[in-house]
Amino acid sequence: MHANGLMLTLTLQVRFVHSTWVFGRVMCHVSRFAQYCSVHVSALTLVAIAVDRHQLIMHPLKQRMSRERGLVWIAVIWAMASCFSLPHAIYQQLLRFEYGEVRVICLPSFPAPSDLFWKYLDLATFFLLYVLPLTIISVAYIILIKKVWLHNTIGDVTVAQSAAHRRRKRMTIKMLVLVVAIFAICWFPLNCYVVLLSSKVIQANNAVYFSFHWFATSSTCYNPFIYCWLNHSFRAELKALNFRNRSKAAPHPS
């Protein structure tokens, strides 16, 4: 996401301040690759988190994911994101125009028939970046919600314990629903805009595009606040981490 934000900032500066591309031919390809790759990584990471939670709750006795396996999954996510992003990065070119002075623009240049290639590429991206991840996340969380809602406490419990258990279940379900809703809401405007643009339904608008892009990538920023609000274990771990950091920073008596 940081790479995506940096590339967006550079592209914004070029388009709105300099009105010409100043980074050369290589960066014309790299910037497009970085934008799409970071977006795919964000979406695939959310899918991986949903699948991991599903396995953790549905199969609590199974061994947790090891560090080595986690690193393998991270490598797989980046490899998939790179493959999905390469078509967008490859078909870029620099165009030169003369309006009193020479201006250079970095634009997509797809093979013939370019309109159909662009349309189907964006439709495939819409499916891989939005429809498929949203479907997987929704199915995983719907199964978890059903599991959590039907789960009953084993043994004798008091009225207060039963009420606390129901309250925790409601908070868990609310957290899962919010995570899915934020992903769907944040990513829909950008994907819808890109598909409509490649289908020639609307005209390109840089301000709208970058606004939708920032809104989409901001979805990952909201999840920690949701966890802190609705997940007691997350708050406890956060407090423990803060306490350990303060203990390390505190001066030791000589």
Q: Is 158 helix (H, G, I), strand (E, B) or coil?
A: coil
The stretches of the chain forming alpha helices (DSSP H) are 2-13, 24-58, 67-90, 114-126, 132-150, 159-198, 206-217, 219-230, 232-249
- The number of domains in the chain is 1
251 inside domain: no
126 inside domain: yes
Q: At what angle do helices 219-230 and 159-198 cross, to 10 degrees?
A: 170
**pLDDT digit string (tens) for 153-174?**
555 556 666 666 667 777 777 7
**pLDDT digit string (tens) for 185-222?**
988 998 888 888 888 888 878 788 888 888 887 887 88
Residue-level pLDDT at 132? 92
What are the residues facing 102 on neighbouring strands? 98
* 28: pLDDT strictly greater than 60: yes
Mean pLDDT within 139-154: 75
CATH code: domain of residue 226: 1.20.1070.10
d(CA 36, CA 4): 8
Residue-level pLDDT at 13? 44
